[in-house]
A = this chain, B = another copy of it.
């Protein structure tokens, strides 16, 4: 049995509570948070406390708080002998400032209230101590088929790649939505295209899957699109993305 204390009451904390509570060999012994109201949402998963002095003993403390709070919150656990692992992609493990530190980073975007199947979510683990690493790997493997040992440096770069694939991609969706709305067109028209674009790269490298005016060097369409755009940032993005596509494939020559 692995015993766990969840530190934090955000979105990821809730997703982790949900998936851990579905596994027999994991026991959530406590959830710690500062806000009594927010903690109420977690009462179904285990005992809760707002008092850091009353945090129980456990094998693993998962620090699922905002990046900036990781160092200070970790210090609340300085007397604990269990593994103190944060769950962030961007923050190095040493930010925890304790010997028994670790990382347990699920590489996924978590939406409030949207159920996720953890089985395929990559879990990136890290620790200085072999035994702690084994424990974090074990925890990961109880919820996912994809557990990887990835150090802080590589994880940061993976997180950077994730920003392109998730945050920036989502912003392009937003621009598409805006262009549709301005024309009184439903964004739903683009949904099958968005889904297929994402699905395509499951079987083909995105480098090979690239299509469109910039890839074809179709200056006429590019010019016509630029004439349609009125928003300055959209125009800049269209130009830069088209140039970047052109550059990527010129490198092939």
Q: Give the B-binding residues of A (Cβ under 8 A).
A: 67-68, 90, 107-109, 111, 114, 116, 120-122, 146, 148, 150, 154, 156-180, 182-183, 185, 187, 189-207, 209-215, 218, 220-221, 224-225, 228-229, 233-234, 236-238, 240-241, 243-245, 247-248
Contacts and interface: CB of A to CB of B under 8 A. Distances in A.
Contacts of A114: 200, 203
A135 to B, nearest CB: 22
A90 B211 CA distance: 14
A224 B173 CA distance: 25
Given A158-B180, A163-B213, A172-B172, 4 more contacts: A109-B196, A164-B173, A168-B238, A177-B207
Given A183-B158, A221-B90, A228-B156, A196 B116 contact: yes
Chain multiplicity (copies)? 2
Contacts of A179: 157-158, 160-161, 164
A107 to B, nearest CB: 6
B183 A194 contact: no
B162 A90 contact: no
B176 A172 contact: no
Contacts of A220: 67-68
Contacts of A202: 191, 195
Contact of A169 (B177, B189, B197, B207): B197
A143 to B, nearest CB: 13
A212 B163 contact: yes
Contacts of A196: 108-109, 116
Contacts of A236: 240, 244
A213 B114 CA distance: 21
Given A170-B201, A243-B233, A190 B161 contact: yes
